[in-house]
Amino acid sequence: MHLRCTDVQFAFDLVMPGSYIGVMPRRDPVNDPLSSLRSMLEIRRFEEAVEELFSRGLLHGTMHLSIGQEAVAEGVCATLQTGDFITSTHRGHGHTLAHGADPTTMMAELLQKNTGYCRGRGGSMHIADVKNGNLGANGIVAGSMTIAVGAALSQQMIGTDKVVVCFFGDGAANEGAFHESLNLAKVWDLPVVYVCENNQYGMSMSQDRSTAGGSVAARAAAYGMPGETVDGNDVEAVCLASLEAVERARSGGGPTLLECITYRYRGHSKSDRNLYRTQEEIEDWRDNRDPIQRFIGKCVEDGRLSNEQVTAAESAARESLRRAVSEAFAAPDADPADLEGAAYA
């Protein structure tokens, strides 16, 4: 999958000859690596900040960090346009940011502010940005998989060329909703791209212990749709696989299932003591396969990025995050006076 493309259209032609229909992806990690690097760094810095704020007792509840998985969010969302839809998961900060959310508004939500995406009602696990096509993070494993079918059905019925990317984890692949969703999406040939973000553990349960057949992507065959296993820590590989799947969905070719193999460095949530995996395993992924470091290393080596550009991108990400945090802190708190009647439109 280490393909080199001279431009995005060429990438389309490479994966689906002659099928390019004119909808340009919003970012291009192959030819404009800086934009995707910035995006991944923004996600990483955001989640590190969240972790720190939590440890200082400034956040409420819990949170699920995707540190180490940024290439999946970026590789897929890079291939979308504003107006395309995503459904996300409980570990959704990366998808949300990569699909264009404002980090200040996200941080405000986590900091229990009235200016947050959900006015303090949702928190980390429920951030949605519906007007920009983010149909929401979801606290129920596989909870958004059936919603994605409906959103895609709307597109088909209304006749738009929008697609719906349905992010889910390896754990969700063993929920009934996964099977109902994939089956119906294919029966109706809906414009859905299923992206399994396989970080190899559903909380503590490894994929080896949980998943018959051992592969999520292989299940695509049962539903008559294309399935592909992708190196989820290689943002370019993810992007190219996603380009093909998105283009297929956009042009009426129906759903695709991508399984992106990745790894989360942090625990499932704050209560996790990592009893189910070894420190060596975590360090091996972190030190040898980190998606951001790999991408930087590759781009610097082949001359697409200079060390100066990387340093500048890193400080820009830090600076923009610092600004987001301080702006969010200054916002008014969520207000209990707004709760009455709020459950109904």
Partner 1 sequence: MPTLPIWKALHMPEMMRYAQAVNHALRLLMSADERVFMAGEDIGVYGGAFGVTDGLLDTFGERRVRDTPISEEVIAGLAVGAAITGMRPIVEMQFADFVVNAMDPIVNQAAKLHFMYGGNVEVPMVIRLPGGGGTGAAAQHSQSLEAWFAHVPGLKVVAPATAQDAHDLLIASVADPNPVMVFEHKLLYKEEGPVEVRHTTEPVVQLGEAIVRRSGDDLTIVAYSIMTVRALEAAERLEDSGISAEVVDLRSLRPLDIETVRASVRRTGRLLVTHEAPAAVGVGAEVVAGVVESDALDHLLAPVSRVCGLPIPMPYAKALETATIPQVDDVERAAKELMNA
Among 119, 270, 294, 298, binds partner 1 (CB under 8 A): 119
Among 61, 83, 176, 297, binds partner 1 (CB under 8 A): 176
User: Measured in Å, how far apart are the chain's first and last C-alpha atoms?
Assistant: 47
**Sheet containing 227-231, strands listed edge to edge, beginning at the edge strand earlier in sequence:** 85-87, 164-169, 192-198, 256-261, 227-231
Of the candidate spans 30-38, 44-52, 123-131, 319-327, the one that interacts with partner 1 by CB under 8 A turns out to be 123-131
152 is an interface residue for partner 1 by CB under 8 A: yes
CB 182 within 8 A of CB 219: yes
140 is an interface residue for partner 1 by CB under 8 A: yes
Report which of 269, 280, 237 is spatially closest to residue 15, judged by C-alpha positions.
Answer: 237
Among 94, 143, 191, 291, binds partner 1 (CB under 8 A): 143
Count of residues in contact with partner 1, rule CB under 8 A: 43
* E-only strand ranges, 187-280: 192-198, 201-202, 205-206, 227-231, 256-261
Residue type, position 135, single letter: L
User: Least distance (Å) from partner 1 to the CB of residue 137?
Assistant: 10
270 is an interface residue for partner 1 by CB under 8 A: no
Identify which of residues 34 and 153 has a Cβ nearer to partner 1 in the complex: 153
Among 56, 158, 278, 337, binds partner 1 (CB under 8 A): 158
Helices 235-250 & 70-77 angle (0-180, nearest 10): 40
154 is an interface residue for partner 1 by CB under 8 A: yes
Identify which of residues 125 and 324 has a Cβ nearer to partner 1 in the complex: 125
* E-only strand ranges, 222-313: 227-231, 256-261
User: Least distance (Å) from partner 1 to the CB of residue 336?
Assistant: 14
Residues in Cβ contact with 147 at an 8 Å cutoff, skipping those fewer than 6 apart: 87, 135, 138
Q: Which two tokens stand for residue 279?
A: 């420190």
Identify which of residues 214 and 341 has a Cβ nearer to partner 1 in the complex: 341
Task: Establish how many alpha carbons lie within 13 A of residue 46's alpha carbon, considering only the half-sphere containing its beta carbon.
Answer: 33
Residue given tokens 């983010």 in the structure block: 134
Of the candidate spans 15-23, 181-189, 295-303, 318-326, the one that interacts with partner 1 by CB under 8 A turns out to be 181-189
Binding site for partner 1 (CB under 8 A): 85, 87, 116-122, 126, 128, 130-131, 135-136, 138-140, 143, 145-155, 157-158, 176-177, 180-181, 183-184, 187, 342-345
